[in-house]
Structure 1
């Protein structure tokens, strides 16, 4: 389950669909590092997540995954109108997240983003 505390706010934002979020939109960046021998499996599972997202089309979710130049570090940038509970609709994400720890050299680190400005993003 993805959960994180938004700094300066009284509530925890969790993947619980019944949870309440004080802000209408949550922006996060998630960074993790995969074991070198697990990169191909990671890419395979991520492709399945995105196929499922395209099929389910969860409302209020914008999500992108990037692979850094070192080949083993990944970054997600997500915009969630109703918090991370929207990811409960994506079955492949649930499977991906349940098995992520066994592939990681560094576990996911979540950073809440506060927009200062944007041009054609996302």
Structure 2
């Protein structure tokens, strides 16, 4: 991947069905911008972020025994999902839990990419 600001950056393929390209988040075949332009766009982006967090939780639950701290990682992903159900999710809370998950899944490139993509979306949205 190119360094931030490089002219040939083609976005982030986070693995699975998640992709971030510039200010757009794509989960499965749906896409939503994560710019702070219009409220409906923000709501759509948050809905996509919720879907990405749900997929992450499913991946962690399915592969829980492959991680040294599998139980704790699942718990952290559950906290991310719960925080995203709030009317106004708290950015720092989300980033704290995602920051815990990231190093724990670093050996699994696809899951680590998913975590990084979700962190980027949280930073952009909140």
Normalised by the size of structure 2, how large is the TM-score? Answer: 0.35
Going by fraction, where is strand more abundant, 1 or 2? 1
Greater RCO between the two (CA within 8 Å, min separation 6)? 1
Higher helix share: 2
